[in-house]
Amino acid sequence: MKYQYSILLYSSQDETDGLCDGLPVRKHINEDLEEIGTLKAQEDWRDLVAPISNYKGGLGHKHNFMTVLLPECLPDRFEIVSYANEFAFLQDDATDILSQQEGHINNGEVLDAIREGERNGTIDALKSGKRQMQAKILNTMIAIDRPRALAAMRSWAKFMEQGAGRQHHLRFQTLEEYLPYRSKNIGHMFWHALVTFGCAITIAEEEMSICAELMLPAVITASLTNDLFSYEKEYEAAQAAGLPNVVNALWILMDEHHISLEDAKAKCRMRIKEEAAKYARIVRETMSRHDLSSDVKRYIELMQYTVSGNVVWSRQCPRYHKDMQYNERQILREKDGVAKHPTTC
């Protein structure tokens, strides 16, 4: 595959702490576009939805989320997919607060808007601030690529219907019992929407099942990576809400094997390495197959950067590390607004 919009990070083993050996790391050359889209989403959320307090989303001090997870996104689509991803982060945190307070998840408002967009190609933005943000996402995407924008809405709707939001009341006995739930919950179909639109990929309906099968080790790796690095954040949130359990692989491993947190982290890291190695092999094998479309092959190849990039971002993002801060440019844009510090791209 030809790479047009990213550079290879040669220090990838250091960047990933050995968690995904065999999977390269790439970084988008127009990282600034992600920063603008991300901070615009935060600004719109504050203006249209609710105040933001102690919130950290997709930005990282050294590497931003989309920049290393979606390094070959087309430049003219990078800002809006970053905006959409930050909307998802904001919604995820808002959903976590509701679930802690009320014991259940309610994503109905967001799902209704997505279904409306999928069905009509438009979203009535007058009903709420979230709908205004979703309409902005859909309208911008449709102006760029209508067929893939509508396909992205379908994938986003599937995620909201099947896996959005953590079920904090559930108690899993084993890691193997938990992984199918977590793999669905991780948001693969939402990410599928961003990747296919952002990279101009079309996956035919009849090829979706083979994609899901090939992607499984990558989804498991992403799920466990998220749990490994987000544990402290989730534990504190559960404690503050008075919840008896943390819906996280580390919590389950500690209970299942009667081990310490550090030992649970070691087990989780070992499983991440195993699943990443499986996916590296799948990528190599897929490239030599003749029974798959070129778009499926490209999709499977690009997803390896989601796996490695997720590790790179998770190791240094303020979202999971209290000691990590935004860099100087990000702080200025957050303080003054992106209009005063426009993109350099």
* CATH number, position 13: 1.10.600.10
Give me Rg for the CA atoms of the chain. 19
Could you list the residue range(s) of the whole structural domain that residue 144 is in?
6-340
Q: Which amino acid is at 57?
A: G
Structural domains in the chain (count) = 1
Q: Answer yes or no: are the C-beta atoms of 215 and 209 closer than 8 Å.
A: no
Q: Which residues of the chain have pLDDT under 70?
A: 11-14, 95-107, 162-169, 185-186
- Angstrom distance (rounded) from CA 282 to CA 280: 5
The confidence score (pLDDT) of residue 96 equals: 59
Query: What is the residue-wise DSSP string for 62-127?
Result: SS-HHHHHSTT--HHHHHHHHHHHHHHHHHHHHHHHHHHHHSS---HHHHHHHHHHHHHS---TTS
pLDDT of residue 101: 42
251/270 Cα distance (integer angstroms) = 16
DSSP secondary structure code for residue 199 in this structure: T
Distance CA 39, CA 333 (A): 8
- The answer to the question of residue 345 being in a domain is no
**pLDDT at res. 99:** 47
In angstroms, the CA 287 to CA 234 distance is 38
DSSP 274-342: HHHHHHHHHHHHHHT-SSS-HHHHHHHHHHHHHHHHHHHHHTT-TTT-TT----HHHHHHHHH-GGGS-
Output DSSP code: residue 20: T
Mean of the per-residue pLDDT values for the chain?
89
Contact predicate 61/326, CB 8 Å: yes
With contact defined as beta carbons under 8 Å apart, do 244 and 186 qualify? no
| Whole-prediction pTM | 0.92
In a domain, 153, yes or no: yes
CA-CA distance, 301 to 282, in Å (whole number)? 9
Helices within 2-74 (DSSP H only): 12-16, 31-48, 65-69
Classify residue 221: in a domain, yes or no. Answer: yes
Query: What amino acid is encoded at 286 in this protein?
Result: T
pLDDT value of residue 243: 85
Number of CB atoms found within 10 A of residue 31's CB: 20
pLDDT tens digits along 65-124: 999 999 999 999 999 999 999 999 998 887 654 444 444 444 677 888 888 887 888 888
**Could you give the dihedral angle defined by the CA atoms of residues 113, 234, 49 and 84, in that order, rounded to the nearest 10 degrees?**
-50
Does 228 reside within a domain? yes
**DSSP reduced 3-state for 8:** strand
pLDDT of 119: 84
DSSP state at residue 206: G
